[in-house]
Amino acid sequence: MRIDLDPSCLFHGDEGDFLEMMGNLLENAFKFCEREVLLTGFIQAENRKQASELILIIEDDGPGIAADERDLVFQRGARADCQKPGQGIGLAIVRDLVEGYQGSITIETSDLGGARIVISLPC
């Protein structure tokens, strides 16, 4: 696992919520990766008038999540891959927590070849 976290990264919320989000996302990344997982974090602000955001990115080199399944995997009980153990609720929990903090979560394709999960949370 590679970690690239800017020292200015701070989560302004409940520690348990943060552990739940990161635990689910990292567990999925390690479950589906071939060899590599990357966690990146930084603070982003478009301009001085816009509030800063904490950006967290979890990437892996596994099979990824097909574009047509990316909305589906955020639904409770839905799974894109039934070959690995799991109940299909982890990403739904993460989405609910992120949205509870007025943030956003997206799934993209990583340069590593697998999934790239991007969380944006207000600072």
Q: What is the CATH number of the domain that holds 94?
A: 3.30.565.10
In this prediction, residue 101 carries a pLDDT of 98
Q: Look up the domain containing 70 and give its range.
A: 2-122
According to DSSP, the β-strands at 53-60 and 115-122 are antiparallel
Other beta carbons less than 10 A from residue 79's beta carbon: 17
Could you give phi then psi for residue 65, rounded to 5 degrees? Answer: -125, 120
Number of domains in the chain: 1
- Of 1-5, 16-20, 69-73, 74-78, which range is least confident? 74-78
Region 9-38 average pLDDT: 96
Per-residue pLDDT tens over the stretch 59-111 = 999 999 999 999 988 987 655 555 555 556 899 999 999 999 999 999 999 99
Tell whether the model's pLDDT for residue 122 goes beyond 60: yes
Is residue 46 over pLDDT 90? Answer: no
